[in-house]
Copies of this chain bind each other. A is one copy, B any other.
Amino acid sequence: MEKNANLKTHLEELIQLSETEFKYISSHFHLKTLKKNQSLIQVDDSVEHTYFVKKGLLKAVYTDENGKEHILQFAMENWWITDYQSYFTKTKAILAVICLENVELLALSYNDREKLCREFHSLDFFFRKKANSGYLALQKRMLMFLVYDTKSRYELLLSQYPSLYQRVSKSIIAAYLGVSRETLSRLDKKKVL
């Protein structure tokens, strides 16, 4: 079993790489481990890296002026996470990225990412496809907000990611769904009927 086996598998879902190429590419990633509740990115940080999740679960949160948290994204195994706004545009982070479990990440800097994309046309392709599917996923979420009521959104979320229910508290799910934890709690009751 290879060192960055899950990264390799992840890339090979979309592109083909020789052993040498993969070795070279993966040499630009560095391992980062954090414990539950530690923060990977804090508000106002300069965000140099994007992170491939080998293991664990994280959230990207925006904290509003009343101190209320809103979750923009979860990331579990084989997903990517960062404050993309900050990463792409070299502005200060407005999101925080926090570990919901102990995590193992592979960090890739912006400059290395762009360098690798220049060197390997296939990587440019890979990240284009990834960006497209990220866009579709977000659009799907947006549509869920526009079309469905809270209860349906909750059920759709759990049916799509059953493991979330085990891995995070309900307050966190509420912060993702955009409702108060009290309302979410009351929905749980209704569901049984």
Contacts and interface: CB of A to CB of B under 8 A. Distances in A.
Interface of A: 62, 64, 70-72, 84-85, 88-89, 117, 121, 124-125, 127-128, 131-136, 138-143, 145-147, 178
A147 B85 contact: no
A147 B62 contact: yes
Contacts of A127: 128
B143 A142 contact: no
The complex is assembled from copies of this chain, and their number is 2
B64 A139 contact: no
Contact of A146 (B72, B138, B139): B72
Question: Do most interface residues of chain A lie in helix, strand or loop, or is the interface mixed?
Answer: helix
Contacts of A117: 125, 128
A148 to B, nearest CB: 8
Contacts of A147: 62, 64, 70
A143 B134 CA distance: 16
A145 B143 contact: no
Nearest to A73: B139
